[in-house]
Amino acid sequence: MINKKGDNILVQNIIFIIIIVVFTAILVLFVWRSASGESLIEDGYSKTIALMIEAGKPGMRIEFDAEKLFETADSNNWNRGRAVIVENNRVYVQTREKGGKSYGFFNDVNVNILTDENKLILEINE
């Protein structure tokens, strides 16, 4: 009862330390998930595919290696056929249940997406 003010400061400091630890843990978890690779792979492939479509002409068939994309989708039990979708002038790349990235393009073309083992095939049509 003599040092009541000191006990109050101690409780405030403990609460402050707990808040700092929780905030730091949330921050580290966010950074770790953002840099885990899945998000970066989805972002990279969505931009690459959109730029290929933008540079392509009707009648072109573009094949490229998508091994990393398919490995990521397989590790998350995600269907390879749903990993890349092109609709409404946007490329959607998704390798997991929650998440995914999209990137737009300006070409007014229809794109068929085919897969062959670890290759992704883009057929560009009018």
Query: Domain check: are 44 and 28 in the same one?
Result: no
pLDDT, tens digit only, all 126 positions of the chain: 555 666 788 888 999 999 999 999 999 988 887 776 788 899 999 999 999 999 999 999 999 999 999 999 999 999 998 999 999 999 999 998 888 999 999 988 999 999 988 999 999 998
Query: Domain check: are 75 and 87 in the same one?
Result: yes
Query: Domain check: are 6 and 19 in the same one?
Result: yes
- Confirm if 124 and 70 have CB atoms less than 8 A apart: no
Query: Domain check: are 22 and 81 in the same one?
Result: no
Give how many domains the chain has, as a whole number: 2
pTM, two decimal places: 0.74
- Confirm if 113 and 62 have CB atoms less than 8 A apart: no
Query: Domain check: are 22 and 42 in the same one?
Result: no
Owning domain of residue 52:
38-125
- Opening angle at CA 71, ends 65 and 74, nearest 5: 130
Task: Give the closest residue to 68 by CA, choosing from 90, 40, 87, 47.
Answer: 40
- Confirm if 64 and 119 have CB atoms less than 8 A apart: yes
